Amino acid sequence: MSILIDQQTRVLVQGITGAEGSFHTRRMMEYGTTVVAGVTPGKGGQTFDGIPIFHTVRDAVLNTGANASAIFVPPAFAADAIMEAVDARVDVVVCLTEGIPTLDMISVKRYMNGKKTRLIGPNTPGIISPGKCKIGVMAGYIHLPGRIGIASRSGTLTYEVVNQLTKLDIGQSTCVGIGGDPVIGLTFLDILQLFEEDRDTDAVVIIGEIGGTAEEEAAEFFSQRMSKHVIAFVAGITAPAGRRMGHAGAIVSGGAGGAREKIAFLEKAGMTVVKNPGEIGDTVARLLAGPA
């Protein structure tokens, strides 16, 4: 199994005719993802590499049965694109757009209350269930089907960890980039709950960053509700307070959100915390092997 997406996922691409949308649509299709529709207002009735294009998400869903969306639209229009997909009752929306105003995302989060749609991102590399489906921009060839779940705030570190695991012949069930912005859809806590319920995921790696409380919330869930191993790494241990580092959400303020504080919280909860990202693969292998 996997979480959120699988072989039956039918993807529509919002912004399919743009430069990024067209490039990554082709890469997703090459990986084996079933892309059934594109959405570009004003270009309905056209096609892209044989894929029908619709004016609206609702029309795309009604005509193709799409149940997931990849959003490649400029920041100014991304919030509306997400809400349009929510209105069309799309199951999973993956917003790749970077630089969406925080106030726009606050409005999106309020709009989504009580709705069925699950949002990944924004500012995410996407989600992949190796060998089954890829929605996003990650390099599919480094992934290997298997039983380790990954949830991460950092795209670059995700690739590094996946590469380590694959070289050790340790496959992944699903890899989710939750996004690096201050306001996002699914959080570490949400993803851990899904992995805990997935009978084909044996352990989980989470890759955190400074800023916010996502890691602390995940630690509380782990200590109270999880039966599976969680291996954690937190980036940004040398980051100075008050300075944004990389992602919009990666900032330590008011004495909270620092890497050392997060690491202490994760360790207290019982997670296996790795201080050096180069050791994550070996740590996973050692835990899977069990006591010597």
- Three-state SS across the chain? CCCCCCCCCEEEEECCCCHHHHHHHHHHHHHCCEEEEEECCCCCCCEECCEEEECCHHHHHHHHCCCEEEECCCHHHHHHHHHHHHHCCCCEEEECCCCCCHHHHHHHHHHHCCCCCEEECCCCCEEEECCCEEEECCCHHHCCEEEEEEEECCHHHHHHHHHHHHHCCCCEEEEEECCCCCCCCCCHHHHHHHHHHCCCCCEEEEEEECCCCHHHHHHHHHHHHCCCEEEEEEECCCCCCCCCCCCCCCCCECCECCHHHHHHHHHHHCCEECCCHHHHHHHHHHHHHCCC
pLDDT of residue 251: 47
List of domains in the chain: 1-123 (3.40.50.720), 139-292 (3.40.50.261)
pLDDT tens-digit series, residues 126-157:
999 999 999 999 999 999 999 999 999 999 99
User: pTM here?
Assistant: 0.92
Q: Which of 24, 143, 229, 247 is catalytic?
A: 247
Could you read off the pLDDT tens digit of each residue along the chain, which spans 292 residues? 689 999 999 999 999 999 999 999 999 999 999 999 999 999 999 999 999 999 999 999 999 999 999 999 999 999 999 999 999 999 999 999 999 999 999 999 999 999 999 999 999 999 999 999 999 999 999 999 999 999 999 999 999 999 999 999 999 999 999 998 999 999 999 999 999 999 999 999 999 998 888 999 999 999 999 999 999 999 866 444 544 445 554 444 444 467 888 999 999 999 999 999 999 999 999 999 987 5
Q: Annotated catalytic, 143?
A: no
